Amino acid sequence: MHPTTNLLIVHYGDDWIRGSEACLLNLLDSLSTNFKPVVWTNNKVLVRELTAKGVTVHSASFELISLQQSAFNVKASLALYKTALAIISEHNINLIHVNSGAPCQWMTLAAKAKRIPMLCQLHSPYNLHDRFTLTLHSAQRLVAVSHAVAKPMLDEGYPKQHLTVVHNGIPNIDLSQPLDVRDRLNIPSSARVLVSVGSLITRKGFDKLIQALARLNSSQDQHHLIIIGEGSERLNLINQIHTLNLNTRVHLVGEQSNVSAWLAGGCDLFVSGARSEAFGLVLVEASLAGLAVVAPNVGGISEVIEHNSTGLLYENGDNEIDSIVGAVKQLIQSPETREVLTNRGKQVAKDRFSLEGNTTQMESIYNQLLEEGVKQSWWAWFSSLLRPLTTFFRTRCLAECKSVRSAHEA
């Protein structure tokens, strides 16, 4: 019988349940009984979810240090460090999992002081400023949700042997009770229905999908677009819909608890307009729901969707709207191709992106860390913090010197 490992999971995020929060909840639901989780977070919505599941939770405000601020709240940072030490002692923590980059700012030091093995899971790429101020390089082990997320850290010198890419996984989805989206939204049976899911923010590119829909509806064929999600861009999207006279063709249905039922409810295609994407978990959901996928070739999406095999990828840029329209038309006009992509996509999603596989990989990394312990010296830990400065020197200082020299020579 394996001894129980007391696992502290620290999560930083806004008050919602989206990508990294959903992945955390899935992990907690599937962890073996060898791990007893305790969660420390600033996310009030997540606190309610975890409390309902019976998970021990500590809630607090997390104030970060940023070089872009006029002043640092050193007192707040010290308080977070002290709270971390107290939680580790209270629950006799054996292992720490930081579920986003931000808490590394105080957790790597706390883990080092207490000699507790720690990993940080990166759900998105971080810019140079954040890689430095969040002290990401000081994490004993990194887990990235895609190779695209891992690349900036590896390029900057983070040891390859200490970084593992673990693609997100999703639980088996229940498609036994799909809803009829055409009936729900009064969409004619002859119309083509496109669907997309995500937060209504600029990065998700729903404005691009609305532009593409306007082009598609310039022909005799009737196309509708269902957008599932909520966010700060709702009013801008409504204005765009009104301007393009698409009020009856675009359906903003808000947040839905049964996304899979909507995806499997009679839609023809899943379309993404993302300007950037760390992984694209919803693309896996769409594939499992039996939809062919059209998505941009950005970030980690190409690790989820293989062009012309499990979906169609297009390039963002000057011709992106034409590319979206062309890909949609190609699949709408060729049911045979759509069926092939759908079947392959569904099988790949089952084989490569299951929650069981994801959890097995995470537990394997947990066990490796427990076996390794903490061996890094304080000097090595401190030196790791300075890696982003080499990038700054190379990309900013040397570039500036080169520019000045070129100006003098001219």
Look up residue 346 and give its amino acid: K
The whole-number pLDDT of residue 400 equals 55
Q: Name, in order, each residue with C-beta under 8 angstroms of 91's C-beta and a sequence gap of 6 or more.
A: 6, 8, 38, 56
Q: What are phi and psi of 338, to 5 degrees?
A: -60, -40
34: its two tokens: 């060898």
The answer to whether the CB of 264 falls within 8 A of the CB of 290 is yes
**CATH superfamily, region 181-352:** Glycogen Phosphorylase B; (3.40.50.2000)
CATH homologous superfamily of 5-170+355-396: Glycogen Phosphorylase B; (3.40.50.2000)
**335 vs 353: CA distance, rounded Å:** 26
Q: What is the pLDDT of residues 270-322, one digit of tens each?
A: 999 999 999 999 999 999 999 999 999 999 999 999 999 999 999 999 999 99
CA 250 to chain centre: 26
pLDDT at 114: 97
In 3D, which of 169, 138, 160, 158 has the Cα closest to residue 361? 169
Evaluate whether 177 touches 207 at the Cβ level (below 8 Å): no
Helix (H, G, I), strand (E, B) or coil at 216: helix
DSSP letter assigned to residue 218: T
5-170+355-396 and 181-352 agree in CATH topology: yes
Enter the tokens of residue 383.
Answer: 């030196």
Tokens of 57: 């939770």
Q: What was the pLDDT predicted at 403?
A: 55
What's the confidence (pLDDT) of residue 175? 80
pLDDT of residue 3: 85
* Cα 358 to chain centroid, rounded: 14
Give the up-direction half-sphere exposure of residue 311: CA atoms within 13 A in the CB hemisphere.
Answer: 31
Under 8 Å between Cβ of 353 and 26: no
Q: How many CB atoms lie within 10 A of CB 36?
A: 16
Domain boundaries, the chain: 5-170+355-396, 181-352
Quote the tokens at residue 142: 């990194």
Per the DSSP assignment, residues forming a β-bridge with 327 are none
Report the pLDDT value the prediction gives residue 405, as an integer from 0 to 100: 57
Tell me the pTM. Answer: 0.91
Residue 319 CB contacts under 8 Å (≥ 6 apart), including other chains: none
**Residue 376, pLDDT score:** 86
Instruction: Return averaged pLDDT per consecutive 10 residues of the chain, 410 residues in all.
Output: 87 92 96 97 97 97 76 82 98 97 96 97 95 95 98 96 97 84 96 97 97 90 95 97 97 94 96 96 96 97 97 97 98 97 97 96 98 90 88 65 54
pLDDT of residue 316: 97
